[in-house]
Chains A and B, each alone.
Chain A
Amino acid sequence: MSEAIERIESAIRNNKIQVFMKGTRSFPQCGFSAATVQILEELDVPFGTTDVLADPELRDEIKRYSNWPTIPQVYIDGKFVGGCDIIREMYESGELKELVKSALGQSAQQ
């Protein structure tokens, strides 16, 4: 089980914006995952994705990790930001753009 945590943490560490989703970026297997990816593509920012359907152990573990029962899950700068509804709401308010910009800005300075 701890190996799944390592996979989660390394994905979050390696990607300023990381999405745990059903399916792949090109072929999402769920409407909520698809909508989340679409918003990030709209913002035109780099992000990593992990297909939880390809990793059942991680799929279980991620729900405990974030205390969040559903997929997709978005992490920005190592912090759990929310699922599809929250990402959509933050996108519409402009908050997501700001958060993403500051996360990517920090990485540019490093």
Chain B
Amino acid sequence: MDASEVESMIRQGIPDATVVEVRDTTGGGDHFEALIVSGVFEGKGLVERHQTVYKALGDAMRVRVHALSLKTLTPAQYENRR
């Protein structure tokens, strides 16, 4: 699968995400890194945040994605980073 497909699945699963950036790290269509900014991460630990993203990807995460490196930020954290 390509990065845009991963991105649209994440956007579908986390509709209020303000930023979803996905990059194919090897060009092979199975190793990705993603930055996701969303208010749903508010008050959640990292494990729960990542689980939210994995859930959005569903079966693709088990079968088609070999590796996904995640950065999950709240809008406030994203602002502070810039």
> In the bound complex, do residue B47 and residue A82 qualify as a contact, i.e. CB atoms below 8 Å apart?
yes
Say how far B9's CB is from chain A's closest CB, in angstroms.
14
Say how far A22's CB is from chain B's closest CB, in angstroms.
11
Across-interface contacts of A90 in B (CB, < 8 A) = 46
Across-interface contacts of A32 in B (CB, < 8 A) = 67
Say how far B34's CB is from chain A's closest CB, in angstroms.
10
Query: Contact residue range for chain B?
Result: 10 to 19
Q: Is the interface of B mostly helix, strand, loop or mixed?
A: helix
A contact residues, total (Cβ < 8 Å): 15
Apart from A63-B62, A70-B67, A86-B50, what 12 extra A-B contacts exist at CB < 8 Å?
A32-B67, A68-B51, A69-B54, A69-B61, A80-B47, A82-B47, A85-B46, A85-B50, A85-B69, A85-B71, A86-B47, A90-B46
A interface residues with partner B (beta carbon < 8 Å) = 32, 63, 67-70, 80-86, 89-90
